[in-house]
């Protein structure tokens, strides 16, 4: 099994990165091959709305999103992570999601195989765990549109310092288990 993590925070070793890695470590322990993409390091533009992908099964931009498209087509499981920036996912993550329009048919069926497994992780400064539940739930709906089986959403709340999430040992354990049990 192949599991790919996408980090939507620009901060390496930040809270989102720690949680994505934790889930990947869990998946790795159960025998999966894992790979991690830092979206902020990828050289790609936001969707131009040209609708080329409505006519052809491809994106016209032909940039580094091609690597992500290959991963989304070929991997069996995913860990998607983003911190909350102004009530929403980061701009980097939003651009990434918009570009996944190229993996959707004109009738809104996915161009990737159904049944891939996914875990969502996130981080927010707000100490109220459900403060941005709607944002995470909406993203879960996006993944379900791609035919993915979303196994859980895990959000670190109340930390601003990079890596502060490690204090939340319960969440860290839950995310590790989620990665470990992704295919159960
Ligand atoms: C530009 C910006 C906007 C933010 N907006 C919010 C917000 O609306 N609500 C919130 O709870 N935290 C907000 N935060 C705090 C981050 O979500 C928090 O520090 C998180 O732990 C960062 O995750 P990371 O370490 O993975 O980058 C914001 C941080 C930045 C830099």
Terminal C-alpha separation, the chain: 12
For residue 87 and ligand 1, the question of a CB distance below 6 A is answered with yes
Contact 59, 99 (CB under 8 A): yes
- Strand (E) positions, 51-143? 77-85, 88-89, 117-124
| CATH code for the domain defined by 2-180 | 3.40.50.360
Tens digits of residue pLDDT in 26-48:
999 999 999 999 999 999 999 99
For residue 18 and ligand 1, the question of a CB distance below 6 A is answered with no
- Candidates 81, 106, 102, 94; CA nearest to 156 is 81
Tokens describing residue 101:
């329009």
Indicate the average pLDDT of the chain.
98
For residue 21 and ligand 1, the question of a CB distance below 6 A is answered with no
Domain boundaries, the chain: 2-180
Tens digits of residue pLDDT in 139-149:
999 999 999 99
Question: Whose CA is closest to atom 2 on ligand 1?
Answer: 85
């Amino acid at each position: 099994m192949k599991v790919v993590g996408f980090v939507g925070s620009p901060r390496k070793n930040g809270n989102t990165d720690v949680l994505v890695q934790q889930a990947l470590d869990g998946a790795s322990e159960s025998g999966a091959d894992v790979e991690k993409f830092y979206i902020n390091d990828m050289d790609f533009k936001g969707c131009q709305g040209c609708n080329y992908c409505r006519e052809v099964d491809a994106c016209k931009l032909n940039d580094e999103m091609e690597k992500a498209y290959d991963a989304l087509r070929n991997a069996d499981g995913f860990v998607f992570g983003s911190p909350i920036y102004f009530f929403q996912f980061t701009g980097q993550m939003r651009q990434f999601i918009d570009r996944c329009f190229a993996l959707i048919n004109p009738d809104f069926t996915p161009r990737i195989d159904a049944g891939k497994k996914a875990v969502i992780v996130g981080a927010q400064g707000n100490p109220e765990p459900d403060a941005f539940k709607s944002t995470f739930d909406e993203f879960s709906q996006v993944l379900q549109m791609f035919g993915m089986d979303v196994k859980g959403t895990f959000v670190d709340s109340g930390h601003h310092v990079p890596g502060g999430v490690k204090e939340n040992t319960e969440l860290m354990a839950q995310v590790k288990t989620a990665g470990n049990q992704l295919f159960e």
